Amino acid sequence: IRTHTLALEVMRYMLPSRAAITPYGTLGIQARWWVLDENSPFIRTNGVTPFALGPLFSFGMQVKASDRWSSRLEASLSSGHNPFTGKSSFRALSGPTIEESSSVSRTEYRVAGVYYFGKAKTAAVPTPVAHK
């Protein structure tokens, strides 16, 4: 079984995004679809590709390595409807079809690199005002 996921997330840093160390969190929605080998000798797909929408939540820590690079360590939690139940089940060619729970949860741990394009925002130095 292979899964393909498309996600849309909103990210919120707890400190400025270019701080030396900053925790962050995301909240989003994901679309996931499952694909089986059409030539499987054990499962009949009938050309069906199960699809489900569900929530997505991530939290992690970002550590600045240089002016342009940072690294992230995060955990991502997601869930959604299980497509392997009832009429949506893949059918076994021999033996009974096994029913599963009505939802699927998934936890992923990620390590990622971040590269910053553009210039870093710097605080403007106040211009002295001449008094007359």
Neighbours of 7 (CB within 10 A): 15
3-state secondary structure of 27: strand
Q: What is the reported pLDDT for 83?
A: 67
Q: What is the pLDDT along the chain (132 residues), one digit of tens a residue?
A: 778 889 999 999 999 988 999 999 999 999 988 777 666 666 665 666 778 889 999 999 999 999 899 999 999 999 877 766 656 555 566 666 555 666 778 899 999 999 989 876 666 667 777 776
Q: What is the reported pLDDT for 79?
A: 85
Q: Whole-prediction pTM value?
A: 0.69
Judge whether 33 and 49 are in contact, CB under 8 Å: yes
Judge whether 32 and 54 are in contact, CB under 8 Å: yes
Judge whether 88 and 51 are in contact, CB under 8 Å: no
Give the integer Cα–Cα distance in Å for 7 and 28: 7
Of the candidates 66, 76, 61, 80, the one whose C-alpha atom is nearest the C-alpha of residue 120 is 66
Q: What is the reported pLDDT for 95?
A: 62
